[in-house]
């Protein structure tokens, strides 16, 4: 199953609902293009909802890092929401869990933007 994205706006925050796999190839490119497009259009408060992401590889991890740093470098903020256990564990062993702003509650995540 490849990755699918849908985008919604909640109180000025862009939430990207991701499902499927973020892996080398289509999944990574789709995520990269989406985040860059959002930033280009001035959407700088972004939440990636990963609740339905069932698989991620090192390329996918790299894309999450890229999305995070690209957003930050453009004066924006990016949070991760609803990590599955697999993604959570991967971010733990790569020591990225504390780098990302990870949330479990969507409403709190939306309110938490500066």
Partner 1 sequence: MEQQVSYTLDSTLDTVDHAEESATRIATELGFAEDEVMQISMAVREGAVNAVLHGNKYAPDKKVTLAFERTPEDLVITIRDQGPGIDLSGIPNPLAPENLLKTSGRGIFLMRSFMDAVEIRPSQTGTEVKLIKHVRGSSAGNKERS
- Sites of contact with partner 1 (CB under 8 A): 23-25, 57-59, 61-63, 65-66, 68-69, 86, 90, 93-96, 99
CB-CB contact of 106 with 15 (8 Å): yes
Of 57 and 101, nearer to partner 1 (C-beta) is 57
State in angstroms the smallest separation of the CB of 88 from partner 1: 13
Of 97 and 113, nearer to partner 1 (C-beta) is 97
Dmax of the chain from CA atoms? 35
Count of Cβ atoms closer than 10 Å to residue 74 Cβ:
12
State in angstroms the smallest separation of the CB of 12 from partner 1: 27
What is the C-alpha to C-alpha distance for residues 101 and 80, in angstroms, rounded to an integer? 6
């Amino acid at each position: 199953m490849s990755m699918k994205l849908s985008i919604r706006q909640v109180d000025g925050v862009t939430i990207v609902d991701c499902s499927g796999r973020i892996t080398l190839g289509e999944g990574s490119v789709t995520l990269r293009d989406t985040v860059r497009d959002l930033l280009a259009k001035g959407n700088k408060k972004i939440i990636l909802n990963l609740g339905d992401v069932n698989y991620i590889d090192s390329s996918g991890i790299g894309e999450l890092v890229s999305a995070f740093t690209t957003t930050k470098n453009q004066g924006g903020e990016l949070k991760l929401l609803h990590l599955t256990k697999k993604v959570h564990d991967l971010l733990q062993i790569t020591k990225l869990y504390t780098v990302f702003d990870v949330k479990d509650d969507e409403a709190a995540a939306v309110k938490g933007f500066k």
